[in-house]
Every structure is written in structure tokens, then in C-alpha cells.
Amino acid sequence: MYFHGVASASWFGTIFAVICIRGVVSFSDEEHALLHRLLSDYDKNARPVANSSDNVTVRLDMALHQLFDVDERNQLLHTNAWMRVKWWDNKLTWDPANYSGLTEVVLDVALLWIPDIMLYNNAASTYSLRRDTKAKVTYDGDVNWMTPAMLKSSCSIDVTYFPFDHQSCPLQFASWVYNGYQIDIMNASAEGDTSNYVENGEWELLSIPIQRDVKVYSCCPEPYPSVTFHIQIKRKALYYSYNLILPVIVITAVTMLGFYLPPESGEKVSLGVTVLLAMTVFLLVIAESMPPTSEVVPLVGMFFGATIFLLASSLAMTVIVLNMHFRGVHHNKVPRWLRHLTLFLSRIVCMHHAALKTLRLSHNTLQIKDANVASKDHAGAENFMLVNFNKEAHSVETTANQNQKNIYLDRNDTEDQCALAFAQSTREAFNEQSEMEWRIVAMVIDRVFLFLFLLITVAVYVTILTNHP
């Protein structure tokens, strides 16, 4: 029984395999017969219409697969797309019942009439789509031609808001020879297909709206319809923010440290010049990353230009502070208006107590010392006049009184020397006080410049970096 069952199973398997092979051979024969009937009297140069006045409706669609590159320098867009072209061919119809239920065949497009769809804004050597692929034809005459395409198109790149820019690059497809009365090109959908899109590291794909236009060219009076795919992309700004904007902000922050550097160190100007040179070298390094255009100034270019101006302004502020700091060496008094201005500014920059106390005390001390100097000078002059008077009054006296006069004159000379020494020490104290006042003025002005530089820097950076859609 066991061997009888095995033999029966083997017999049925053989019969099933023979039936399948006969079915495949029969189906292949039917397809061969169908292709022979369809292409025997087919003319691929003639439009598939019943009347010459009829037009062929061509529906165009695109599935964007990959965005290779956006060349700002040459204004080019490199993409990889899958084009989908559909039309109706009245010569490619049949009854599936006559061909064992066959409803679809695959034909080489070189054997069929195909619309001469071309990329109008093409920037490559080949304008037309690839014709080395095949098309699917259904029994009711619908032709579905899907072909991959490496597209290189021209695109006007607007770098006004670089690196926070949005771009819209068109891909305009239309017939090169047939006008609108012969081929009516329409879009198959409202937007392009992005289901198989491969993400790009620099650009983010937003959408692909499709637009149909009809245009009359100067060469021909007939209308020429076209379908345009607008590839809307947005630049991913993380790379540029990290490599371009952040280092500039750090360099600007280092510049603020120069305001805290003491003028006595002699390195305030050196630090400012070093930072300015570092910024210049940085701009030379990143010059290749900037879009080379003379039509507009990119947003990042305005950012760099504003930074250069701020760094140069901080260097000028440092020179002014150093000039005030060392002006007291020449024994110049602080002007009254500058004294009041410094006292007013000290309240704004939170240096009110120290600066006000020092300046007021120094002002009162200098007034007292000036009065003492004047008093001592007057007393010294009176003593000098008294000495001269005594010399004349006692010139006729006898020799016996000469010793007493000399003692009196020695005492007056000692008083004169003391007065002159006191005046000299007072003048030295005045000069030291003047130097201290100029240092205080320079310290307050330096702090004011720091707050002013910080305020302007924040305002400029926020205005520039937020000025984009």
C-alpha cells in the first residue's frame, strides 16, 4: 500500500507539471501572437489618433528619488527622478478573451510612438528622456511608460538669506515639436511623488507642486503646453551655524574680554588687533563655503561684515580709553564737563559709589590744596619783602648789630625754603591726584564702552540672524 500511494502521488505530480508547462507555453504563444498582431502594421512615426485634427493627451508625473547637488556657483540642480508618462494609443487595443485572458503586455518603447517630452531648462548634453526602457500596454490601449532620468537643470539660486534660505527649482517638461493642438500635456497629479525619496544631508525637501502652463513662443503661433515640477527645498543650517556662525560669536566674545584687561598691562590694543586678524584669517578659510554672487549680499556676508565693523569699533574704543588713562601723566586737569559726565555715566554702569566718592573727594582736596599753596606763596612773598626791607633799614646800623641781623635773616631763609618745599609737595600731590582722576574717568568710559559694545552686538546679531523667512 505504501508503494502504491507513493506511485499515485508521483503520477499526479507529473500530470500537474505537464499541465502547467502546457499552460505557460500556451500563454507564451498567445502573447507572441498578440505582439505580432499589434506591431505588424504599426507605424511608430504616426500619432495614435483616429483623425489628424485630434490631439493626444499625455499625462506626466514624476517621483523624485534623490537630490544630488545644488550648485550655487553655476546655478545648477542635479536630481535623480523616475518619470511616468501615460497616454492612450488606439492602435494597441485587443480583446483579452481572444488571448487567454491576457490583459497586459510589455513592449520596447523603440517599437512604439512616444511623445517627444524634453526638459526645457536642461543643462546637460541630453535633452530627451531615456528610451532604452520598456512600457506597459493594457488591452484598452493605455500606455504607461516609466523611465529613470538623471536630470541636470538650470536653477536660479537666491542666496539672500544664506544659510537660512529656501529654494524653488523648476523642472519644465514639454514637447519640442508637437504643439498643443497635436499633444495636450497635462499633469497626472497635483504634487510629485516623494514616497521613495532619499534624504539629502544639506537640503530638506519640502514639496513638489506641479503647475501646467500654456505659452505661445515668438517662432510659432500655436500654443505649447508644459508641465513644471517646482522642487521646493530648504537648506539645513546646522552645518553652517556650527562652522560659520558659532566661531564668529566666540571671537566676538573674546573681544569683550579686552574691556576687562587693565590698561597698565599694555595688551589691550594687542588683543584687539589679534582678534581682528583672527577674524580676517577665518573669513579667508571659509571663503569657499560662501556662495559666489554679486547680485545680492548673503545674510551670512552681512553677519561677517557687521562683525568686522564691531571688532574695529572695539579697537577704536580701546584707543580712546588708553588715551584718557595716560593723559594725567602730562599734568592735565579733568575738565569740569567731563567730570560731571563721568559722574552721570557712573550711575548708569553701576559704578556710582566708587567713582563719585573719589572724584568728589579729589575735587575738594584739590581746592583746599590750591588755597594752601596760594596762602603759603603769599606768606613767602611777604617774608621775602620783609627781609629786603630789613636789609635796607639796617644797612646803616653799626657792626655791633650785624650778628643779630644775620640771625634774623637765617630764620627768614629757613621759612622760605619750607614754603617752597611745601608748595612742591603740594604740586606733586596735585599731579598724582590728576593722574588718579584720569584713570577713574578712563575706567568709567571703558565700562560704558563695554555695555555699549554688548548692546550693539546683541542688537545687530539678533536683527541679522532673525531676518529670514
Contacts of 93 (CB under 8 A, 6+ apart): 139, 140, 141
Mean pLDDT (whole number) for 72-95: 92
Question: Is a pLDDT exceeding 60 seen at residue 410?
Answer: no
Burial 410-427 (b: 16+ CB within 10 A, else e): eeeeeeeeebeeebeebe
Mean pLDDT (whole number) for 430-458: 83
Would you state the pLDDT for residue 172? 95
Q: How far apart are CA 88 and CA 49, in angstroms?
A: 9
267 band by pLDDT with thresholds 50, 70 and 90: confident
Question: Is a pLDDT exceeding 60 seen at residue 9?
Answer: no
393 band by pLDDT with thresholds 50, 70 and 90: very low
| pTM reported for the whole predicted model | 0.73
Q: How far apart are CA 137 and CA 129, in angstroms?
A: 19
Mean pLDDT (whole number) for 162-186: 93
Question: Is a pLDDT exceeding 70 seen at residue 404?
Answer: no
435 band by pLDDT with thresholds 50, 70 and 90: confident
pLDDT digit string, tens, across residues 20-37:
444 444 446 888 899 999
Would you state the pLDDT for residue 327? 78
The secondary structure of residue 114, as a DSSP letter, is: -
pLDDT digit string, tens, across residues 301-348:
889 889 999 999 999 998 888 888 787 666 677 788 887 787 788 778
Would you state the pLDDT for residue 421? 61
Mean pLDDT (whole number) for 456-460: 93
3 state DSSP class of 331 = coil
Q: How far apart are CA 187 and CA 374, in angstroms?
A: 101
The residue behind cell 550693539 is 456
Of 262, 449, 456, the residue nearest 345 (C-alpha): 449
- Cβ–Cβ under 8 Å, residues 464 and 310: no
Would you state the pLDDT for residue 430? 57
For the chain, counts of helices (H) and of strands (E) = 8, 11
Backbone phi, psi, residue 195, to 5°:
-70, -25
Query: For the range 348-352, what are the long-range contacts, defined as Cβ-Cβ under 8 Å and sequence gap of 24 or more?
Result: 348/448, 348/451, 349/444, 349/447, 349/448, 349/451, 351/443, 351/444, 351/447
- Cβ–Cβ under 8 Å, residues 266 and 325: no
What does the mean pLDDT of the chain come to?
Answer: 79
Question: Is a pLDDT exceeding 90 seen at residue 182?
Answer: yes
- Angle at 65 (CA atoms; ends 118, 158), nearest 5 degrees: 70
429 band by pLDDT with thresholds 50, 70 and 90: low
The β-bridge relationship of strands 210-216 and 166-175 is unpaired
Question: Is a pLDDT exceeding 80 seen at residue 423?
Answer: no
The residue behind cell 603769599 is 378
pLDDT digit string, tens, across residues 211-262:
999 999 888 889 999 999 999 999 998 988 898 899 999 999 988 888 888 8
Would you state the pLDDT for residue 415? 59
pLDDT digit string, tens, across residues 123-149:
987 766 777 789 999 999 999 999 999
- Exposed, middle or buried, 221 (CB in 10 Å: 0-12/13-18/19+)? exposed
Would you state the pLDDT for residue 469? 75
